[in-house]
Structure formats: C-alpha cells, structure tokens
Amino acid sequence: MFNPRSLLSNLRRKAISPASITPTVANTAKANTPQRQPKPLTPLQQQILVRIEDCYQQAEIYFKRTFARPQTQFTLRGRSAGTAHLQQNRLRFNPVLLRENSEAFLAEVVPHEISHLLCFQLFGKTKPHGREWQSIMLKLFKVSPNTTHSFDTQSVKGKDFEYRCACGPVRLSIRRHNKVLRGETRYLCKRCHTHLTFTQAAE
C-alpha cells in the first residue's frame, strides 16, 4: 500500500545535486526585462523533482519505452494544485498549496499531472480524465483517479469584486475587474443579457 509519509522520508534522505535531476526549472523572465537569477529551489520543491524522476523511471519500466522528461515550474497561482501542458511537455505546480499539502502532492498531485503527459505521448489527444488517463493512474501509479483536489484554498483565494446585473450580484476576479477599469471590455450576464455594473470590492 502506498505510504506518503514513507515516501516523504525516503525523498528527504536522497542526495540532491543538479546533475542527478533531469527535469528542469524554467526561467520565466521576459526577454525585454533584465535577467534575474532564478529563485533557488526549496527542499520540498527538490523532493518534487525527485518524485517526478521516480515516476518516469517507473513508467519506462511499465511501458518498456523511454519518455522525455518534462520542464517543471513552481509558478502556478490560484486554486489549482498543478497543471500539465501537453504540447510543451511542461508541468506547473502551485508553491503555496505544495507547502500546505506536501504529502498529498507527492502521493497524488505529481502522478496526476504526469499521467496527463504520459497519456498524451502514448495515445495522442484524449479526454482529459478519460479511460486512458484513469488506466495510467490506477495500473501504473496505483492512485485513485480523482479529477480534482480537496485542499483548503483559503490562503490562495484571490481578491474578487462584486458586480450586479438584472439577476443579482455576480463576483468577478481581479483580472476581469481590471479589464473593466481599463475600458478593455464589458461583461454580459448569460442569463439576463444585461451588462454587469461594479458595486463594491469584496472584503
């Protein structure tokens, strides 16, 4: 039976060196901005990279073929724990939720996202959580194929703003709110087809 506490303990004992880790952490600096040194990885983020490599070695034994290792970033914001970018062979993880849910990340989130990449490389385009993805989760990683996490996201909840339409109050994210303020767009309610008007910011 999979034991996340045992896995976490084992990963902590493993020596971490740049040469021993295949996945790369992308430099997200824009081309037109001064180059900044990437932030050093935390010990927990290093453990995630080791876990990724372990999962890929397991997959190569199971499928009897090699897989290109993904680019890995710890830049995801909001309420998502992780995302897999299929065409780019890239993984992104939420550093805040990682700190708060380290055992679940190692045991479930990393295999979940890697299964998306493996599924795409093995079968091409399929349903995001279809039977091919579920099969990899169950048969290869022995992890229940849950489609969403149940983490407490209060600490990563973004500020939102209250708007109104004929139906009543509607909450918009700060990104959409800023677009309204800049005059870039206006939003319509899909039910009553009236424009949303700003009332007040959420506390």
**For position 22, what pLDDT does the model report?**
41
Choosing from 113, 132, 162, 203, the catalytic residue is 113
Is 193 labelled as part of a ligand binding site?
no
Catalytic (active site) residue 113: yes
* DSSP per-residue letters across 138-170: IIIS-----SS-----GGGPPPEEEEE-SS-EE
Is 112 labelled as part of a ligand binding site?
yes
Alpha helix (H) residue ranges in 14-171: 43-63, 95-100, 102-104, 110-123, 131-135
**Domain ranges for the chain:** 4-26+39-154, 158-201
- The angle at the Cα of 156, spanning 152 to 162, to the nearest 5 degrees, equals 105
Per-residue pLDDT of the chain (203 residues; tens, 9 = 90+): 555 566 655 555 554 443 334 444 444 444 555 566 678 999 999 999 999 999 999 999 999 999 999 999 999 888 888 999 999 999 999 999 999 999 999 999 999 999 999 999 999 999 999 999 999 999 999 999 988 877 767 766 666 678 888 888 887 777 788 888 888 888 888 888 888 888 764 43
Structure tokens, 135: 């099969």
**For position 20, what pLDDT does the model report?**
37
Fold (CATH) for 4-26+39-154: Zincin-like (3.30.2010)
Model pTM score: 0.65
* CA dist., res. 70 & res. 88, Å (int): 8
